[in-house]
C-alpha cells in the first residue's frame, strides 16, 4: 500500500494516531520537504516516530516517483506531507502514477491552512477562491491575483492569500553555471505582502484593496501554541504600519475580508485588532455590518 | 485551559497525537454530538481514550456553555468536535465566552470536509464559496443556494455542497405537545440532493445545473478506508440515474465542477466516473478542458 500522510500544521504531535501507526509500520518513509515548512526539523520527527526519514524534495516526488513507489505493491510505503495531502499543494500526480502501476493507495487526512484559517473567526463557507501571492522583483510583478481577489470582494466573500515561499532557490549566477548551490529559504512577510497589495492597487485602481477601507487578518503559525500562533487584524494601512515582529515567525497567511460579514466574525477577530475602535468602525461604516 | 479538539472525519484513530494527550489529561471531556456524525459510537471513543465522555448536543454547547467551562481556569477541560473546530460548524461562540471569563483557550486542528474534499482530485484553490442544501418539504423549498452556486459557476469555480443532516428532530405532533421525543437521524442522500438541484434548475432555468452538461462528484465517508469512502463522478443526469447504494453510506457531500478545470483534475476523477467516455466528452466539449 502507498500511503500519503498529512502531518498537520505545526510539529511532530500533529500527526493523527492512524498516521503514526502507518509511519511505524512502513518499510520506507519519505518526507516531502517542499510544500511548506513544518516548525520542527526532520531529526525531531525521526526521534518521535522511531524511524529514519528519507528527504524527498518536490523534484524527487515529481521525477522519481517510481523509486518512491518501489515495492509498494508488496510492502507499505509512506510519503509524509505538511498539512493535508490535498491542501495547497496536491499530490494527485504520484497517486495517479501509483494507480497506473496497480498499487493501492490511501490518504490520511489532516488539517491544512485551507481549513485551519478558520481560526481567525471567519466562517469558511464565506471564503471565495484562494490566491497565491509571489515575491515581486524589479522586473516581474505578476498581478493576476488581483482579479481573483476582486471577484471574491465583488461577491462579498473573504479571500485567503497564501504567501510565497522560496526553497531551493538558485542565484542567477549559480543557475547560469549549473551549480546546485541553493539560497537560504525565504518566506514572504506580512509587511511585504501588504505592500505588494498596495502597489498593485495603486496601478490597477480597482478599489478592491483600499488601504484604510479594507479589513484584513494576518496569521502566523496557525495551530501553534499560545505565543507561536499570532493573529493580527486591522485595515491594510494599519497592518502596513506595524513593525514586522508584531506578526511573529513565518509561515504567514493573510485574509482579506468580504462584505458578507456576521457580527460574531467581527467580534471574534476584534480581540486581535491593532485598534479595536477602527476595526469596529470600518466593519460598520464600510462593510455595513450591524454591531451591537 | 479550555481545549476545542478536532476529531477528524472517520473514527477514533483520526484524532491527532496532541489531541489524544489533551483528552487523556483533561478533567472533563465533552463530545459534541450535533455537527455531523462520526462513523463510530461514543463507547468506542471512550474505550480508545480510556476516558468517560459527556455528550453535549448543540443546544447544550450554546445554552450551557458556562457549565462546560466550569473550572477551566484551574483545570483542563476539552470539547471534542467532529472534523475541525472551525470547519462547517464553528465554535466561535463558546471560545468567545471562555475569553470573556478570562479562561485561556486552545484549538487542536484536524481535517474537515472543507479541506478533505480535495480527495476527489479537484484543486482546493479553485473552489468558490461552500453552500448547504437543506431537505425540501412540500411547502418549503429554500433555493437561495442556487444563487451562490451560480456565482461560483459564472466565475468557473467548483462548489462544495454540504448535504443536510437532521439530528434531534421532533415530529410536528411531538413539537406541538412539547414532548422531547426525537425522530431517528436523517442524512440527505446524493440521489435526493441531485433531484432537489434538478427541481430548482427547472424552476429557475438559469442554466447553472444542466443535467447532462454539468459535471459533479459525489463523495461519501471522505477519509474512510477503502470500501468505506466512495467517490462517484459523472453528469448530474448520470448521478441521478444511479441506484442509491452506489453512493455508499452517509455522510455524503457533492461537488459541482466549474470551468477552471485542469486536465489532471479531470483525469484523477475519471477513475470514479460512471461512464469514462461521457466524463471526458463533457469535460472537453462543455467545459473546454484540453485533454490529451
Going from the C-alpha of B90 to that of each of A150, B62, B107, the distances in angstroms are 26, 12, 11
Arithmetic mean of pLDDT, B227-252: 94
Q: What is the pLDDT of residue A88?
A: 65
Which residues on neighbouring strands pair with residue B254, listed in sequence order?
A: B161, B218
pLDDT of residue B175: 85
- Beta-sheet strands, E only, within A17-137: 28-32, 54-56, 77-81, 105-108, 131-133
| B47 Cβ under 8 Å from any chain A Cβ | no
Between the alpha carbon of residue A278 and those of residues A119, A291, B237, the distances in Å are 21, 13, 51
Distance, in Å, from the CA atom of A214 to the CA atom of B198, rounded to the nearest integer, reads 39
> What are phi and psi for residue B82, nearest 5 degrees?
-70, 140
Q: What is the mean pLDDT of residues B235-252?
A: 95
CB proximity B115 to A under 8 Å: yes
Which of B119, B125, B130 has the CB atom closest to A124's CB atom? B130
Sign of CA dihedral A34, A40, A46, A50: negative
Compute the average pLDDT of residues A110-128.
94
* Rounded-to-integer distance, Cα B48 and Cα B43, Å: 9
What region does B151 belong to: left with phi over 0, alpha with psi -120 to 50, or beta? alpha
Given a cut of 50, whether residue A255 has pLDDT beyond it is yes
Share of chain B above pLDDT 90, in %: 75
Residue B35 banded pLDDT, cuts 50, 70, 90: very low
Instruction: Report B:131-150 residues touching A (Cβ under 8 A).
Output: 131-132
Cell numbers standing for residue A256: 482579506
Cα–Cα dist B98/B124, whole Å: 32
Binding residues of B are 9, 84, 87, 112-113, 163, 222, 252
Per-residue model confidence (pLDDT) at position B89: 66
Sketch out chain A's domains with CATH numbers.
Answer: 2-111 (3.40.1010.10), 114-287 (3.30.950.10)
* Average pLDDT of span B99-126: 94
Strands B28-32 and B2-6: unpaired
User: Which of 70-99 (B) contact A at CB < 8 A?
Assistant: 84-88, 90, 92-93, 95-96, 99
- According to the model, what pLDDT value does residue B37 have? 64
Cβ pair A264:B86 closer than 8 A: no
Mean pLDDT of the A152-163 span = 97
- The verdict on B225 touching A (C-beta cutoff 8 Å) is yes
- Which residues are within 8 A (CB) of B128 and not within 5 positions of it... i.e. 6 or more apart? A128, A129, A157, B151, B152, B155, B157, B158, B159, B258
C-alpha cell at B215: 459535471
The pLDDT tens digits for A27-83 are 999 998 754 566 678 888 999 999 999 988 877 888 889 999 999 999 999 999 999
Write out chain A residues lying below 8 Å of B16, CB-based: 8, 13-17, 110
The answer to whether the Cβ–Cβ distance between B111 and A114 falls below 8 Å is no
Poorest-pLDDT segment among A43-52, A53-62, A93-102, A257-266? A53-62
What is the pTM assigned to this prediction? 0.94
Average pLDDT, chain B: 92
Give the residue on B whose Cα is nearest the Cα of A158: B129
Q: How does pLDDT run across B173-195, given as a tens digit for each residue?
A: 888 888 888 888 889 999 999 99
Tell me if A14 and B12 make a contact (CB, 8 A cut-off): no
Give the closest of A109, A118, A155 to B111, CB-based.
A109
Would you tell me which residues 198-217 of chain B have a C-beta closer than 8 angstroms to some C-beta of chain A?
none
Asked if B115 lies within 8 A of A111 by C-beta distance, the reply is yes
Amino acid at each position: 500500500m502507498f500511503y500519503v500522510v498529512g502531518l498537520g500544521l505545526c510539529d511532530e504531535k500533529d500527526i493523527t494516531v492512524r498516521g503514526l501507526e502507518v509511519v511505524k509500520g512502513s518499510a520506507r518513509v519519505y518526507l516531502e520537504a517542499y510544500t511548506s515548512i513544518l516548525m520542527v526539523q526532520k531529526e525531531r520527527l525521526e526521534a518521535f516516530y522511531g524511524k529514519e526519514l528519507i528527504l524527498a524534495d518536490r523534484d524527487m516526488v515529481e521525477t522519481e516517483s517510481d523509486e518512491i513507489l518501489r515495492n509498494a505493491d508488496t510492502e507499505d510505503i509512506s510519503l509524509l506531507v505538511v498539512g493535508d495531502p490535498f491542501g495547497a499543494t496536491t499530490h494527485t500526480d504520484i497517486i495517479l502514477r501509483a494507480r497506473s502501476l496497480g498499487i493501492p493507495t490511501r490518504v490520511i487526512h489532516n488539517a491544512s491552512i485551507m481549513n485551519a484559517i478558520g481560526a481567525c473567526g471567519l466562517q469558511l463557507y464565506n471564503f471565495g477562491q484562494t490566491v497565491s501571492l509571489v515575491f515581486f522583483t524589479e522586473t516581474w510583478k505578476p498581478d493576476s491575483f488581483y482579479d481573483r481577489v476582486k471577484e471574491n470582494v465583488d461577491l462579498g466573500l473573504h479571500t485567503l492569500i497564501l504567501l510565497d515561499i522560496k526553497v531551493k532557490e538558485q542565484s542567477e549566477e549559480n543557475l547560469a553555471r549549473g551549480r546546485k548551490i541553493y539560497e537560504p529559504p525565504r518566506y514572504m512577510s506580512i509587511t511585504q505582502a501588504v505592500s505588494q497589495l498596495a502597489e498593485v492597487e495603486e496601478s490597477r485602481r480597482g478599489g478592491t484593496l483600499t488601504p484604510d477601507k479594507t479589513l484584513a487578518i494576518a496569521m502566523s503559525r496557525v495551530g501553534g501554541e499560545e505565543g507561536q500562533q499570532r493573529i493580527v487584524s486591522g485595515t491594510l494601512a494599519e497592518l502596513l504600519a506595524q513593525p514586522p515582529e508584531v506578526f511573529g515567525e513565518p509561515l504567514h497567511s493573510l485574509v482579506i475580508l468580504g462584505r458578507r460579514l456576521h457580527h460574531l466574525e467581527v467580534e471574534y477577530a476584534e480581540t486581535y485588532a491593532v485598534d479595536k475602535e477602527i476595526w469596529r468602525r470600518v466593519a460598520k461604516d464600510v462593510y455595513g455590518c450591524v454591531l451591537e
